[in-house]
Amino acid sequence: MKDEILEEVAKVIIPLIQVFGVYVIFHGHLSPGGGFAGGTIIGASFILYRIVYGKEKASMKFSYKRLMKIVSFGLLAYGTMKGYSFVSGGSHLNWPSPPLGTPGKILSGGFLLPLNIVVGAVVGITMYFFYSLFDEGEI
């Protein structure tokens, strides 16, 4: 759609939505939210960009190759971190792990913070893929 008011308002609102989404992801272990909820918010901001600015500009900024690379490396990192934690716990080995810290601070809880970030990225990109799939028929 080619509407001037919509474009100008979207230029201001989309960064605010993304900042809120990043806050929900990063505070996942201290307040309600976490990876899934924050990822959905960021995915909604991508979909809004695609609706307002049209298909060509959106596929220049969010190309299929770059998004697939982020998803694949994200899943690889998730699997490796989880595997490290499971194997070191199950076999009673004492390998080093991120510190637990004090509850209530942002850098606490061991592996929780990196896992939330990965899950947020993957969920956001998946939401955007589903919208473009229903809109076009192909990604």
Residues 10/90, Cβ–Cβ less than 8 Å: no
Selected binder of other proteins within 13, 16, 19, 87 (CB under 8 A): 87
Stretch that binds other proteins, among 5-13, 16-24, 41-49, 68-76 (CB under 8 A): 68-76
Q: Does 96 bind other proteins (CB under 8 A)?
A: no
> In angstroms, what is the minimal distance from the CB of 15 to other proteins?
27
Residues 29/100, Cβ–Cβ less than 8 Å: no
Residues 101/109, Cβ–Cβ less than 8 Å: yes
> Which of 6, 2, 127 minimizes the C-alpha distance to 56?
2
Q: Which residues bind other proteins (CB under 8 A)?
A: 31-32, 36, 68-69, 71-72, 75-76, 79-80, 82-83, 85-93, 130, 133-134, 137
